[in-house]
């Protein structure tokens, strides 16, 4: 009898160990369900104070992870393993995730504050009726330059990057769509081109730019430009805002012939475990005071018109980061090119990076 009791106690102990082990594994993997909200976002893309405020208000523990590209985010969610409740992709990736049925539809009846979003940023082509996504930030791709090395009248267009005066003095963002896109725009072509002849011409033109290219980098551009290690760089508007704060000689330009207009929206992956918490977070970020705090901290443009009114005037009236409708009409949104042409863009970009001057 004692042996049987010992056996039963042993089995019970093993069950308890396994149960708590699974719970710890779930927590480590962001799968703690109702007690945790697991967010997958770009690096440095939310004010940490807002996360703490949300935790205090909601009672959830936020498990926050970051990615450095839409493609990396897509692959990780597609592979599974971590059940993200919220992620924040760009418009073309939202299109792709919708096609792959990776997102849950947004129940607008559960939203409070959607009326705070500027109508210009709702019902866009990549997600008509906002059935799967809610606006978070928006911005542009442009050129940042240092007036100690180059005059204002010398850098207004993409073609100016090819000027001999900028030899070994231009930094490029490490992105195929961005770099191929600027070359396409400089020739009057769409940055979503699927015309092989246009893509070949754009790559050939880029190859002639290599004499001027000092480096192809990512987040390091901010440090390099603030420290005046290059005369000009191609970057996103929010990154530029941070650079301008760090050096009064820097300026941001959106080439008038065209560039990228991008949108990052909040979505709920199909594998989410805490749906209730997902809506609470979306509604939290729709509140004007929270959206304004986030925009001032990050530097990107808020689509929340009520939040924009709360921003300092020197921010909300700055057309470098809140461009006019006249400027916006010349900009293009990235489209999902499909696997074939995404591969072509990546291959051509690799060819450019390996090109010998």
Residue positions forming the annotated binding site for spermidine: 92
Sequence-distant (≥ 6) Cβ neighbours of residue 142 within 8 angstroms: 234, 235, 236, 237, 240, 252, 253, 254, 255, 259
Angle at 127 between CA 256 and CA 195, to 5 degrees: 55
- Alpha-carbon span 286 to 296, nearest angstrom: 15
Alpha helix (H) residue ranges in 234-337: 237-246, 275-286, 288-298, 305-308, 313-316, 325-328
d(CA 308, CA 302): 7
Enclosing H/E stretch for 87: strand 86-87
Feature table: binding site: 92
The CA distance from 122 to 151, in Å, is: 38
Contact 73, 86 (CB under 8 A): no
Q: How far apart are CA 244 and CA 259, in angstroms?
A: 20
Which structure tokens are listed for 241?
């805002």
Q: What are phi and psi of 253, to 5 degrees?
A: -130, 135
Cβ neighbours of residue 123 closer than 8 Å, sequence gap 6 or more: 129, 130
Residue 207: phi and psi, rounded to 5, are -60, -30
| Distance in angstroms (rounded) separating the CA atoms of residues 8 and 2 | 10
* Site of tokens 């002639």: 208
């Amino acid at each position: 009898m004692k042996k049987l009791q010992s056996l039963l106690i042993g089995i019970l102990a093993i069950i308890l160990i396994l149960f708590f082990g699974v719970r710890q594994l779930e927590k480590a993997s962001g799968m703690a369900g109702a007690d945790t909200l697991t967010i997958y976002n770009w690096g440095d893309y939310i004010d940490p104070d807002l996360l703490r405020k949300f935790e205090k208000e909601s009672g959830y523990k936020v498990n926050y992870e970051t990615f450095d590209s839409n493609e990396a985010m897509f692959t990780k969610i597609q592979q599974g393993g971590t059940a993200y409740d919220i992620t924040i992709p760009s418009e073309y990736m939202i299109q792709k995730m919708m096609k792959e049925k990776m997102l849950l539809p947004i129940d607008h009846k559960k939203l409070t504050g959607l009326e705070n979003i500027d109508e210009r940023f709702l019902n866009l082509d990549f997600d008509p009726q906002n059935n799967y996504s809610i606006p978070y930030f928006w911005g542009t791709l442009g050129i940042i330059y240092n007036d100690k090395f180059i005059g204002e009248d010398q850098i207004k267009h993409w073609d100016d990057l090819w000027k001999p005066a900028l030899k070994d003095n231009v930094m490029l963002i490490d992105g195929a769509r961005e770099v191929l896109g600027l070359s396409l725009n400089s020739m009057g072509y769409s940055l979503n081109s699927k015309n092989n002849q246009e893509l070949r011409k754009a790559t050939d033109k880029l190859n002639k730019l290599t004499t001027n290219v000092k480096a192809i980098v990512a987040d390091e551009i901010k440090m390099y430009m603030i420290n005046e290690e290059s005369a000009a760089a191609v970057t996103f508007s929010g990154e530029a805002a941070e650079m301008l704060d760090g050096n009064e000689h820097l300026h941001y330009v959106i080439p008038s012939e065209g560039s990228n207009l991008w949108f990052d929206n909040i979505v709920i992956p199909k594998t989410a475990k805490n749906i209730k918490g997902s809506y609470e977070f979306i509604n939290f970020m729709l509140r004007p005071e929270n959206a304004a705090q986030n925009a001032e901290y990050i530097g990107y443009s808020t689509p929340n018109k009520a939040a924009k009114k709360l921003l300092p005037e020197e921010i909300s009236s700055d057309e470098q980061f809140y461009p006019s409708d006249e400027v916006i009409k010349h900009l293009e949104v990235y489209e999902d090119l499909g696997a074939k042409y995404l591969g072509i863009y990546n291959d051509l970009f690799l060819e450019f990076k390996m090109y010998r001057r």
